[in-house]
Amino acid sequence: MSEFEVAVGADLRSQAYFALAEAYNLLQLLMDEQLRRDGGVTYVQFVLLAQLAQAPQGRLRMTDLADTVLHSRSGLTYQATRLEAAGLLRRERSEEDERSVTAVITDEGRRRLEQVIPGHQAVVQAGMFDVLSDNQVKELAEKLDAIRTRLRSMVPSSAQRRRG
Amino acid sequence: MSEFEVAVGADLRSQAYFALAEAYNLLQLLMDEQLRRDGGVTYVQFVLLAQLAQAPQGRLRMTDLADTVLHSRSGLTYQATRLEAAGLLRRERSEEDERSVTAVITDEGRRRLEQVIPGHQAVVQAGMFDVLSDNQVKELAEKLDAIRTRLRSMVPSSAQRRRG
DNA sequence: TATTGTTATACTCTATAACTATA
DNA sequence: TATAGTTATAGAGTATAACAATA
């Protein structure tokens, strides 16, 4: 138990919370370095590319993408401009709704993603899973998934934030 | 299982990892808002104050504090200047080693911390623990702690980064 | 009128390297 | 020479509000 925990609460819940926070921050540090080294992309850009890669035809509407990655629309425009300049993504006007813009991952974007994923998974494996058994991983995943679902219901979407 | 997971790996480990990432990001969003609303401090500032509050006599050397919160020294100087201007922290030259500076939390800093902690704990409780039993919390804490310890051993300290 | 995306703008934060003082 | 902390600087990223185009 770290001393920080004593300040805010020495109970099990505080332990779980601070372990989560520190684990994620350390992981972020290692992942940022790996992604930059292996593919010249930031973590945010990696997440955006991965989101697009799995979407049908590699396409997502800008607003939906912003909601998915929890950023403002202007923030997404900023990142999309950078990814477009790097040739990893392109933007197309929608045909059904002329207001909408669809972000599409390019072939080069998919290649770049494949290029960084092995290193990314290696970091996650070494940092998180080498110290857990398969069954422990399963139990961890179940609990984190319950927490994630709960938190999703507590945070409004970017469209809702704009209105409210 | 989100579609993002499919892109990078649909296995249990990816599930655990992405659940961790999204849970922490959502939690961060909620905590930032709460801390700003209840006490006008950022999450980083909250962590710095909490670290000092629990240290002996509320004191820590700047470099040690930087290592604890995983920031560069210049980044810590920036935050310390802001916290000092807000009257929540003060800096003193060390008497043993004239090169060192000790950061000390002020009485007002402690009051501010007490002011935000209830809301902070409420957010954590609602977001993470209302969906878990006490035993599940215990199991979660154990696994996250193992991961944290592992990750700590993988990330060099700020002093080590400076040298290397 | 409401919604989509971009832009203008301003601000926060971070790190690197140079610098000062001390060990 | 090495270390502690600050500062100068520059850059990355973010969000809010105003805007143009479309529904």
Statement: the CB of B104 is under 7 Å from strand D: no
Residue A54 has pLDDT above 80, yes or no: yes
CB contact under 8 A, B54 and A130: no
What is the extent of the structural domain holding A70?
Answer: 41-131
Give the CATH number, domain containing residue B9: 1.10.10.10
Whether A106 is covered by a domain: the verdict is yes
In a domain, B136, yes or no: no
Please report whether residue B142 resides in a domain. no
In a domain, B161, yes or no: no
For B59-74, the pLDDT digits (tens) are 999 999 998 887 889 9
Phi-psi region of B141 (alpha: psi -120 to 50; beta: other; left: phi over 0): alpha
Q: How many domains does chain A have?
A: 1
Render pLDDT for A69-96 as a digit per residue (tens, 0 to 9): 878 899 999 999 999 999 999 999 999 9
Q: Are A112 and A49 in contact (CB under 8 A)?
A: yes
Asked if residue B56 belongs to a domain, the reply is: yes
Residue B155 counted as domain residue = no
| Of A151, A25, A2, A27, nearest in space to B141 by CA | A2
Q: How confident is the model at residue B10 (pLDDT cuts 50, 70, 90)?
A: low
Report which of A109, A144, A13, A29 is spatially closest to residue B70, judged by C-alpha positions: A29
Sign of the torsion formed by the C-alpha atoms of A146, B26, A2 and B58: negative
Is pLDDT at B110 greater than 90 in this prediction? yes
Question: Which residue do the tokens 């051993």 mark?
Answer: B153
- To the nearest whole Å, the CA of B96 is away from the closest chain A CA by 24
Which nucleotides of strand C lie within 7 A of protein CB?
3-8, 12-17, 21-23
CA of A163 to C1' of C7 (A): 20
